[in-house]
Amino acid sequence: MIVKWNSWSLNKHHHILIKFAVAILFSGLTFRLYVAHYNGFASDLQSSMPEKDQVLEQNVAIPENKEQIPIEKCDLFKGDWIPNPSGPIYTNESCRWIEEHQNCMKNGRLDPGYLYWKWKPRDCELPLFHAKRFLELMRNKAWALIGDSISRNHVQSLLCMLSTVDRAVEVYRDGENKSKRWHFPSYNLTVSNIWSPFLVTAAIFEDINGVSTAEVQLHLDKLDKAWTDIYQSLDYMTISAGQWFLRAAIYHENDAIVGCHLCPGKNLTELGFVYAYRKALHYVMDFIVKSKHKGLIFFRTSTPDHFENGEWHNGGTCPKMSPSKAGKAEMKELSKILYGIELEEFDKASAKAAEYDVNLMLLDFMNLLLSRPDGHPGPYRQFRPFAEKKAAVVQNDCLHWCIPGPIDFLNDVIMDIVVKKSLHYPIRRSVCVGISRSCEAETSHLPGYN
C-alpha cells in the first residue's frame, strides 16, 4: 500500500509539475501576444489622436523660457504655386464683401483655372487657412489693414474667408466710402480697412474715375492721422504703400515746398519718387519703432503689376492664364525700385524695433504674387466687357487681384506667422475701437492650431 501510494503520489506530483510548466509557458506566450497587440493598438491610437490632443501635449512640454521654444525654421515667402484641386474655401456667390472690380467670375471671366493653385513654401508645410481657428485666435481683438487699394483688396479676401464661419457686420464707413470697419459678433473681432495710400498727409485731386486732375500735395514729414489716431488701439495691423508714390506730386517738408515729381513748368526741383518714398517710409518706421506698441505690426511689401504692352492708361493687358514657372517671373524696373526702398527702410527699422521691444515683422509677398500674372481681373474689372462686341477695347486691371484668387494665400501665411508668434509672447488686451463692445478678455497666450 505504501509503495502504491508513493508511486501514485510521485506520479501526481510529476503531473502537477508538468501542468505548472505548461501554464507558465502558455502565460508567457499570452503575455507576449498581449504586449505585441497592445503596442500595435497604442501606435494606432497615437497616430489617430486628434490634432488638438497633440497640440496640448506639445504645450505641456513648452519650456518656461519662451525664447527657447523650438519653432520650425522656414522661409514662408520662398516657394512655388502647386495644383490645388479643392479650390478656394468660398465663392464669389457665397461672399457679399467682394467689390465689383474684383468680382471676376460675376463679371464674366470664363477660365476658372486661376482658382486651383496654392502656395507651397519649399522647406516646410503651410497649413491652409482655417477660418474658425483664426477667429478663435482673434477673439476680442482689433485688426486693421492700412494702405491703398491693395489693402482694400486684401481685406475683402480676409472678410470672405472669415465669413464662412461668422457673419461680418459693417459698423463704420467714412464719407468717401474708403475707410470701413466690420465686426464679427460671435468672436468680438473688429477688422478695419484704413485708406491711407501714402501713409503721410496728402491732398489728392482726382475725378470719379480715379484720374488725377492735379498734382498730389504730399507732406513727407507729417503722418496721416487716419491711421496714427487709432494706431495704439489695434492689436494687429498690416501697413503698406508703394504705387501711389509714382504719381505726379508736389513735396512739402516743414510746411514748405521742397520739390516735386513730374511737375514740368512749375519751376520746382525735380526730386523724384525715390526721394519721397524713402523719406515717407523713414517717418513711418520711426513712428512705429518709438511707439512702444505691444501688438503685432506687419509691414507688407508693395504689389507688382503684370501689365504687358502698355500700362493702365495706354492699353496694357495681362493675358496669362497660369502661374509663372519657378524663376521665370521678371520684376519691372519701377517695382524693383519700390521694393528695394522698402527692404532697406525695414532693415534699418527692425534692429531699432527690437531695442524698443516693438513687434515689427516684414511680409515680403513680392515673389508670391510676382509669379501669378493670371490672377488679375484684366478686362473683367467691369461686368461682361465683351457682351456687345467681342473685340471691344476696354480698360484692363493688371494690378489688383480677383477674389477669390491668389491674394487669399496672404492670409494663409499671416495665420501661420501669428500662430507661431503667439507661442513666444502674449498679445495685450484689446482696446475698443469705433463700436460699443466689451473688452474684458484677459491677456493670455493665443492658442495654436487646434
Q: Is residue 34 part of a domain?
A: no
Q: Is residue 30 part of a domain?
A: no
Confidence check: pLDDT of 441 > 60: no
For residue 409, the model assigns a pLDDT of: 98
Do residues 292 and 353 lie in contact, with contact meaning Cβ atoms separated by under 8 Å?
A: no
Q: Is residue 191 part of a domain?
A: yes
For residue 160, the model assigns a pLDDT of: 98
Q: Is residue 379 part of a domain?
A: yes
Taking the model in full, what pTM does it have?
0.79
Residue 424 pLDDT class (50, 70, 90 cuts) = low
* pLDDT tens for each residue of 28-62: 444 343 333 333 323 332 332 233 333 222 232 33
Q: Is residue 17 part of a domain?
A: no
Mean pLDDT taken over the chain? 82
Q: Is residue 36 part of a domain?
A: no
Residue 327 pLDDT class (50, 70, 90 cuts) = confident
* pLDDT tens for each residue of 135-162: 999 999 999 999 999 999 999 999 999 9
Confidence check: pLDDT of 347 > 60: yes
**Residue 341 belongs to a domain with what CATH number?**
3.40.50.1110
Please spell the DSSP secondary structure of 96-151, one letter per residue: S---GGG-TTTTT---GGGGSEEEEESSS--PPP-HHHHHHHTTT-EEEEEESHHH
- Please give the average per-residue pLDDT across 12-40, as a whole number: 41
Q: Which residues contact 305 (CB under 8 A, 6 or more apart)?
A: 243, 332, 335, 398, 399
Do residues 182 and 200 lie in contact, with contact meaning Cβ atoms separated by under 8 Å?
A: no
Q: Is residue 336 part of a domain?
A: yes
Query: Catalytic site residues?
Result: 149, 397, 400
User: Which structural domain range is residue 289 located in?
Assistant: 51-422
How many domains does the chain divide into? 1
